[in-house]
Structures are given as C-alpha cells and as structure tokens.
Amino acid sequence: MRDTRIEVTSNSPARAVGRWMVRHPRSVSTAAVITPAVVLVGYQAMLMTAGVAVLAGASWRVLDAPTFDRFAGRLLRAWWRRWAVYHRQWLRILVACNLTTSDHRGAVLVPKLRRVRSTWAWDTLFIDLAKGQQPEDVGGVLDRIANSFRARSASLRVLKPGRVAVDLQRREPFDEMPIPLAGLSDSTEVERLRRVVVGRDEYGRDFALDLLKRDLHVLLAGETGAGKGSWLWGLLRSLAPLIRAGVVRVWVIDPKGGMEFGAGREMFHRFATDDRTGLAVMREYTTVLDARKTELGNQGVRTAEPSAETPIELLICDELAAMTAYTTTKSDKAEFETLLSKALTQYRAVGGRIVAATQEPTKDVVPMRGLFPTKIALRLAQSSYVDMCLGEGVRDLGAFADKIPDYMPGVAYAKQDGRREALRVRAAFTADADIAELVEFTTSGGAVVPIRRPIGDDAIAPARDGWADTDFEELEDDEVEEIAYFDGEDEEEESA
C-alpha cells in the first residue's frame, strides 16, 4: 500500500523499496511465486492458466453468485475496492474532511488505511489513527466520509487504542426486492421440513430453514416492531400442509396476552397466553416428548420419522423474557429455564423443535442461547446485542443488525451453524388476511383439532373450551392429563 503520510524527511530509494516490501507481504509473495513459474513454464502457459482461472471464476459467478461471493467474491471485491476506490482517493478525501494533523516538524500526518473487508452490502475500512487524533475526530465527519465514498451510510467502531473501523453501507438489496409469501401447497411430503421457506436472502434466493437437520432450534431477537411476527407466521405458513396433515403440531406460548398469535389459536395444538399457562404448556411439552423418548427407546428406534403418529412438536415461544426474566416467581422462572434447556438438548431425535423470540438477547433473558443452533437477529436496540444473539465476533464480520433501518421490518441477519458470517435476509410479510387464510387452510383437513369450536358444537365438553385460560396450578394432576391429551381420537370416542 502506498504510504499516505507526507513527511519532511526524505527516504533513500532502497529504504523506500524495503519499506514497501515489508508493508505489502501479499504482493511480494505473489510476485515471488509467479516470477519463477513464468521462468519455468513460459509466459504463454501462465497467461493461459490465468485465462482459464478467470473464465472458471466468471462461470462460477454467473451460475451461483452467493457461493462465489462467500468464498472468492468478497476477497476479490475487498482487494479491488481497496486499491481502486479507497486508496486512490484516501488522501484527497481525508484532507477535504479535515482528518489530517501535523507533527512537531510540520509533517502532515494522515490516518492510515490498513485493510478493507467487503460483504455484499457493506465495506469496512480498518484505520490506524494519526498521532494526536481520537476516534471522535472520525465520528464527527462520518456523513462526509460516506458522501465522499458514495456510500448510503457510515458508522464507526473503536477496535483498540489508535485503531477504528468505519463501516460503509454501499447498497440495500431489500429496497427494491419483493418478498413473496410462500404459497399454501397441498404437498405433505416430510421432505418439506428440509426447506421451510420464510423469505429471501440478499442475493434474491429463497431463504429456508432446515427443520430436519440444521436449524433444529431457532432463536429470534429483535426490538419491538422489528418484524419477529412476520418470521414466526412465515414459518407457520410454510409448514401449513404438514400442520394440516398432523405431521407438525404447534404449541404456542404467547405471554403478551395472546396478542401476536391469538388469531391463529384454532390451528395450534396448545396455546398459552400468560406466564403461568405458558409454564404448564412447557411442562406438558416435555412430558409428551419424554414419554415418546422412552417409548421409542424401548422399541430400539433411534430417530423418529416425522409422521402423524410421531409428529414434529414445534414449540413457539414469543417474548421469552416474560417466561425467563419477568415471571412472577423465581421458582417458575427456574423451572421454565430448566425445562427449556432440557427440550433444547434432548428431543432432537424424537421431533422436538423450538423457536423462541425475544427483544433482548441478554444472558438474563436467554441463558441457554448457546443451545440454539440457528440465530436470527432482526433490528436490535444496541450493537452489543448483535454478538449476544449471533455469537462472538459476528458483528465485526458485517452483521450490523443494530443498523437495520426502522423502515425495514422483517430484515435480519441469520447465523446458521457451520457458517462464520451471518446472511442478510428478509421475511415475507404476513397480513391479517393471510393469517385468516392460513388458519382456514390448516383447520380444514381434519388432523388439527381446533382449541375453540363454534358455539353449539356438542363434540367438546365445556371444560375444554377455552382451556388455555385454565389455571393449571389449581387442577389435580389427573385433570391436567385429561385436558392435555384431548385429541381427535378422544373426540371420536366422545361423539360416539
């Protein structure tokens, strides 16, 4: 990299070359490899090899832009933008932004651009401050820097004394991209669980969760209005045919009085609207899955195939804080956390899946966050929440969930196990009419037994109607059993 400091002392050519070589180890080592290769095989062979490599790279880019970008594109782009954009204009722009100082001899000192990292939407400039400067000097001219480099926005991070990172947002892929809702298909193939489409990623591809293998449990974090609802409803919509067929049973804890999921209560297997009934649902969930674990264990089955007999038991907990941090008693909180941790660790093979949402992904609220293999960070209130949700260092790799603008609900960074970086994605928006359509669809097949039935339906005993409001604490154990195992079979017996 060219030395951008303007100094009064002059360098001898040999010293300057030596310093340049020390500062550019990659260029020097590339030259050290290429030069002997040219001597050995000749420049024509080298040119042909380079041509083939460029052709292969271009084809890869055309055929699969996201994987190309992940493994090669971002490195090439960072290299190219560093030289062609940032380094070329560095001195000019920093002088124009008043970001230079001088030393005791009058030499002008300019902050040094050490490295550039690039993602599809963001560039990060790693900068060593000049002597006499403080991070606030850069922070004060961020808008000017953004405008000078034609970026949409800029933000500052202090990495260590004397070093800062400036994140420049180059593009917003979701400005123009329509995100269609998944269609309500009739296909009930279990393989659908491998590809539960919820939205689109920044490359325009469908973004899907794999509930069979990779995305067993999902943690969603986002401040109020960030669009957690569209993720959760999008997931349910994509699972609709399997819910209708009884291959997926949905247990919902919506401790905010059922405000988010109340409209869908007819399609749920269990539905709790406060922390006490939420705990009862959690207890029942673990009891059912423990029993299944024992039963399948006795039969020597190691992994249950999802079916109407051994359905995927999907537990959705909206606003986890109400169950783990703001519950009425400490013992309820401790019990819920123990049951949740147990569910996250023990029920993979017997079909237990958990999706939990929270506004604050702090240790108090989600002490077991490491047990969620997939984490999704929507707009977050604080930058520190990003790593709390996605994992240590993920924000530094470009997951700026705290920078997602208010006007883009549903946009998030998804971090799945096995990937270092998070992917920027947006869920499709589910309007009230779509929820009504979904409920109608899932409850029309017969496998889902509605929690509430129209008035006058004798099939359901009054005690079961509105069971979610039942105070479980005051019931004897055998009464809880009776309510908990109310299903299609019981109903038939009863009608007969």
Distances (CA, A) of 480 to 174, 253, 326, 353, 474: 48, 17, 25, 23, 10
Q: Which of 96, 290, 429, 480 binds ligand ATP (CB under 6 A)?
A: 429
Binding track, positions 260-279, relative to ligand ATP; x by CB under 6 A: x-------------------
3-class secondary structure per residue, the chain? CCCCCECCCCCCHHHHHHHHHHHCHHHHHHHHHHHHHHHHHCHHHHHHHHHHHHHHHHHHHHHCHHHHHHHHHHHHHHHHHHHHHHHHHHHHHHHHCCCCEECCCCCEECCEEEEEEECCCEEEEEEECCCCCCHHHHHCCHHHHHHHCCCCEEEEEEEECCEEEEEEECCCHHHCCCCCCCCCCCCCCHHHHHCEEEEEECCCCEEEECCCCCCCEEEEECCCCCCHHHHHHHHHHHCHHHHHCCCEEEEEECCCCCCCCHHHHHHCCEEECCHHHHHHHHHHHHHHHHHHHHHHHHCCCCCCCCCCCCCEEEEEECCCHHHHCCCCCHHHHHHHHHHHHHHHHHCCCCCEEEEEEECCCCCCCCCCHHHCCEEEECCCCCHHHHHHHHCCCCHHHCCCHHHCCCCCCCEEEEECCCCCCCEEEEECCCCHHHHHHHHHHHCCCCCCCCCCCCCCCCCCCHHHCCHHHCCHHHCCHHHHHHHHCCCHHHHHHHHC
Establish whether 229 is an annotated binding residue.
yes
Establish whether 222 is an annotated binding residue.
yes
CB of 177 or CB of 308, closer to ligand ATP: 177
By the rule CB under 6 A, 230 interacts with ligand ATP: yes
C-alpha–C-alpha distance, residues 432 and 440, integer Å:
12
Stretch that binds ligand ATP, among 145-153, 209-217, 223-231, 343-351 (CB under 6 A): 223-231
Establish whether 225 is an annotated binding residue.
yes
CB of 278 or CB of 410, closer to ligand ATP: 410
Burial label for 394, CB within 10 Å (0-12, 13-18, 19+), is buried
Establish whether 291 is an annotated binding residue.
no
Q: Which of 226, 288, 404, 423 binds ligand ATP (CB under 6 A)?
A: 226
**Shortest spacing between CB 262 and ligand ATP, in angstroms:** 12
By the rule CB under 6 A, 237 interacts with ligand ATP: no
By the rule CB under 6 A, 227 interacts with ligand ATP: yes
**Shortest spacing between CB 268 and ligand ATP, in angstroms:** 17
Q: Give the tokens for residue 403.
A: 């920078």
Q: Which of 133, 149, 409, 448 binds ligand ATP (CB under 6 A)?
A: 409
Stretch that binds ligand ATP, among 287-295, 303-311, 331-339, 421-429 (CB under 6 A): 421-429
Stretch that binds ligand ATP, among 165-173, 364-372, 420-428, 441-449 (CB under 6 A): 420-428
By the rule CB under 6 A, 222 interacts with ligand ATP: yes
CB of 167 or CB of 260, closer to ligand ATP: 260
Establish whether 224 is an annotated binding residue.
yes
By the rule CB under 6 A, 410 interacts with ligand ATP: yes
**Shortest spacing between CB 413 and ligand ATP, in angstroms:** 14
Stretch that binds ligand ATP, among 25-33, 38-46, 335-343, 427-435 (CB under 6 A): 427-435
CB of 132 or CB of 225, closer to ligand ATP: 225
**Shortest spacing between CB 316 and ligand ATP, in angstroms:** 12
C-alpha–C-alpha distance, residues 465 and 442, integer Å:
19
C-alpha–C-alpha distance, residues 73 and 77, integer Å:
6
Q: Which of 12, 44, 224, 298 binds ligand ATP (CB under 6 A)?
A: 224
**Shortest spacing between CB 439 and ligand ATP, in angstroms:** 17
C-alpha–C-alpha distance, residues 100 and 119, integer Å:
28
By the rule CB under 6 A, 255 interacts with ligand ATP: no
Q: Closest CB to ligand ATP belongs to which residue?
A: 410
The footprint of ligand ATP on residues 331-360 (CB under 6 A) is 359
**Shortest spacing between CB 427 and ligand ATP, in angstroms:** 5
Stretch that binds ligand ATP, among 23-31, 181-189, 217-225, 298-306 (CB under 6 A): 217-225
CB of 317 or CB of 448, closer to ligand ATP: 317
**Shortest spacing between CB 258 and ligand ATP, in angstroms:** 12
- How many residues touch ligand ATP under the rule CB under 6 A: the total is 16
**Max CA distance (Å), the chain:** 101
Q: Which of 42, 225, 446, 488 binds ligand ATP (CB under 6 A)?
A: 225
**Shortest spacing between CB 178 and ligand ATP, in angstroms:** 10
By the rule CB under 6 A, 311 interacts with ligand ATP: no
By the rule CB under 6 A, 361 interacts with ligand ATP: no
**Shortest spacing between CB 314 and ligand ATP, in angstroms:** 18
The footprint of ligand ATP on residues 132-151 (CB under 6 A) is none
Chain Cα centroid distance, residue 413: 4
**DSSP β-ladder status, 270-272 and 248-253:** parallel
C-alpha–C-alpha distance, residues 259 and 185, integer Å:
27
Binding residues for ATP: 222-229
Contacting residues toward ligand ATP, per CB under 6 A = 222, 224-230, 260, 359, 409-410, 426-429
The binding site comprises 222-229
